[in-house]
Amino acid sequence: MTIAALSDLLTDAREHRYAVGYFEAWDVYSLEAVVAAAEAEQSPVIIGIGGLTANHAWLREQGIAVYGAVAAMLAERAKTPTAVMYNEADSLDEARSALGCGFNTVMMVGQGMTMERLIETTAALVAEAHAARVAVEGEFDELGEMRDGVLHDEEARLTDVDAAVEFVRRTNVDCLAVSVGSVHFVTGGYTPTLHTSRIRELADALTVPLVLHGGSGVPPEQLQAAVQAGISKVNVGTRLKQVFGEGLALGLQRASADPNLTYGSRLPGDAMTAAALALTQEIRRYMQTLGSSGKAANK
């Protein structure tokens, strides 16, 4: 199957009131786990990697090219519609470096930029990306973050409807990540409150699909309410690493004394394979919550 266009996935999701998950990976095992979940659930999906918590020097030197090639190959072989995303580039140059590397969607954060500068930079990225047949996800508001169990939300604010309309008009982004109460890096102990009324206002005013970042800490019932209010794409990352880590620890407890079997063998005793299986099951639960299960059956 050819790599799916982001616009096709999100247009259908918006029309039929479900959300497509972007499940952020960090190695081959996790990329494969996302594809396996999508095929098991007959769900469209977005796979890829992101720069928010990674070494940007390594990404620019080789990581973007390596993972772009692997993710694109997996997407082409997937049995369900699969887009490939480079998420949260830290600059225009880093986002540009993902063009031509297998990704058909890119997203750039604009922390520290004035609104005018961010609009100009995002519009420049859109022009280059669209010429390369790559979609661009936009964002101009910051989310709160959990750091060492403490919420830092000094810069967070709800996305203003008029500002969102202006940003989309001037940049021509394909979808827009909005700030509606979710928080980055939540693993437990804190429950965010999503503002579904603001989601509805944004969905009514904008011509492009809405994206929710920080999906890891949002309870299932709130995710479902957000989707019904107008969210068409949900990003999940932190929770996936937590599940993989827990699965890996359990796998190591049961591991053979032979490291050749324990790491990278792909045999039943491979602790990383066991962790990936746990990850697949968690992603399947998210797909069921987002309503995307079964939506690939007729595509």
Q: For residue range 107-165, what is the model confidence (pLDDT) as tens digits?
A: 999 888 999 999 999 999 999 999 999 999 999 977 766 566 776 565 668 899 999 99
Q: Count of domains in the chain? A: 1
pTM (2 decimals)? 0.95
In terms of residue numbers, what domain contains 77?
A: 6-238+282-290
The answer as to whether 273 is a domain residue is no
Q: What is the pLDDT of residue 146?
A: 59
- Distances from the Cα of 56 to the Cα of 62, 244, 265, 294, angstroms: 10, 23, 29, 36
> 79 vs 154, which has greater pLDDT?
79
**Region 84-96: what's the mean pLDDT?**
96
Over 60: is that where the pLDDT of 277 sits? yes
Is 121 domain-assigned? yes
The answer to whether position 77 is within a domain reads yes
34-53 residue pLDDT tens: 999 999 999 999 999 999 88
Other residues' Cβ atoms within 10 Å of the Cβ of residue 32: 18
Assigned domain for 265 exists: no
Write the CATH number for 82: 3.20.20.70
Query: What sign does the dihedral 129-200-22-64 (CA atoms) show?
Result: positive
Residue 141 lies in a domain: yes
Does some domain include residue 59? yes
Q: Residue 153: what pLDDT?
A: 65
Cα→Cα distances 66→72, 100, 102, 143, 264, Å = 10, 12, 9, 29, 18
| Structure tokens, 221 | 């019932």
In a domain, 1, yes or no: no
29 and 247 in contact (C-beta within 8 Å)? no
pLDDT at 217 over 60: yes
